[in-house]
Amino acid sequence: MQQLPKVGLLAVSMALICHTYSPLQPIQSSIGFAILGYLLSDYLIPATAPYFIKIGLFGKDLSKKDKPVIPETIGIIPAVVYLFIMFSFIPFMFFKFLVVDTSGGGSRDTGVDLETADSNYFPHNKLSSYLSGVLSLESMVLLGLLDDLFDIRWRHKFFLPAIAAIPLLIVYYVDFGVTHILIPTFIKNIFGFEAVSIDLGALYYGYMGAVAIFCPNSINILAGINGLEVGQSVVLAVLLLLNDFCYLIPASLRSTPAYETHLMSTCILVPFLGVSLSLLKFNWYPAKVFVGDTFCYFSGMVFAFVGISGHFSKTLLLFFLPQIFNFVYSIPQLFGLVECPRHRLPRFNQEDNMMYPSHAVFKKRLPKLIEKGMLILEALGLLEVVEEEMKNDNGTEIVIKECSNFTLINLVLVWFGPMREDKLCFVILLLQFSIGLISLVARHTIAALLFGYDNLSIFNLSILSSN
């Protein structure tokens, strides 16, 4: 009886995938594959978890009273399921270009005529972009797995995503090749620029390579409590889908290039959402599995894939604002200005089962400039500082003995006080979604005011002014 709902979901999945002539294709098939991916991951994760422990891929959950042993690197399961799904999805993604009516004998009676077609031809550029993204994902999954197995040092693995993104960047160069950025109207007015845009040339590819590096690493840095790595990936996928729907719903955009790029973005993200939700089910508090670095790198590369291939990498970074803040906020410890412990996880108190901000303890006196900076952060509510008196030749003075670790997780605890682990994760995810939603609205309103144009014609400045 417990299997009946899953059998029903499987039937729905097959119906959505196989109904190829639906006007909702290929989104309908992507939903079917998302359900299938959820079911496969939901079956494989508990079935394979004991084998991960058997080969030594496990760890202790230090934020629980009994410190349970939990299998690690389980993120490889949904990642591999997703890759197989994306392979299987190819004919459904391009079905309308593959099927034609024929009376037999090799004649092509109706359908797309490749010799006389105008714009209705097989989109080889879209297929190459799709395949290059899948190849980059395969490379990233392999690199993430190597990191989980061999614990590669940060300075060695930080730039690995850029290597995995090379297929994406090559196809972008061949297929699209746009490397200019728009100049905001107010800057043109101030400096008297006549040009509408600036061509960055090779620097733009360096920027996209930086996006490919940042997305996987930023998810990996903002981690350490049950459900956070997968949870933020689910929230980011939902925000990107909301952005895609802004282009897919208006009928006026159906024949535009923006519609096609966001259609492919949707078809990439929906199956990803399916496999991620199944992993979140097992990784949510109290976690039964750990996702490992593999899933962090894989999910980050999915977002880099849709952002680069969909030509909206700058919009993508708006949804990563919490991750950007977490990285910038962590710079004092990441770059050695302040002592950085190996693990900056929140401190777990067994007596009340609550999480508290963890602290970095300083063995020697910090430079006065850094101390002043930390006191400013404390005054702004961005840091928790512990001071003590220190005797010297001139008497006694107050010095900073320890401070809360520079992570967004600890900062949330500084702001809101001790929390249980699941509530802490929920607050961070709610913060991520709220900032992302505000960014989405700002992207399609303020952009028209800054540049005089937005991809969504309903927000173009000319239309706004005419009203």
Asked, for residue 117, whether it belongs to a domain, the answer is no
Residue 2: predicted pLDDT: 59
- pLDDT at residue number 342: 76
User: Is residue 111 a part of any domain in this protein?
Assistant: no
**Domain shared by 177 and 150, yes or no:** yes
Indicate whether 313 and 404 sit together in one domain.
Answer: no
State the burial class of residue 281 (Cβ atoms within 10 Å of its Cβ: 0-12, 13-18, 19+).
Answer: middle
Q: Are residues 291 and 368 in the same domain?
A: no
What is the percentage of the chain residues whose pLDDT exceeds 70? 90
Residue 107 in any domain: the answer is no
Pair 364, 272 in one domain: no
Q: Residue 455 — very low, low, confident or very high, per pLDDT cuts 50/70/90?
A: low
- If asked whether residues 282 and 181 sit together in one domain, one would say yes
* CA 183/CA 189 separation, integer angstroms: 10
Mean pLDDT of 297-302: 97
Residue 276: pLDDT above 90? yes
Do 30 and 80 sit in the same domain of this protein?
Answer: yes
| Domains contained in the chain, number | 2
Kindly state whether residues 359 and 312 are assigned to the same domain: no
Say whether both 247 and 395 belong to one domain: no
**Residue 356: which domain range?**
347-416
Instruction: Establish if 115 belongs to a structural domain.
Output: no
Place of tokens 């997968």: 230
In a domain, 339, yes or no: no
Q: Pick 260 or 465 by higher pLDDT.
A: 260
pTM of the model: 0.91
Terminal-residue alpha carbon distance, the chain? 59
DSSP state for residue 447 in the 8-state scheme: H
Q: How far is the C-alpha of 62 from the C-alpha of 348, rounded, in Å? A: 8
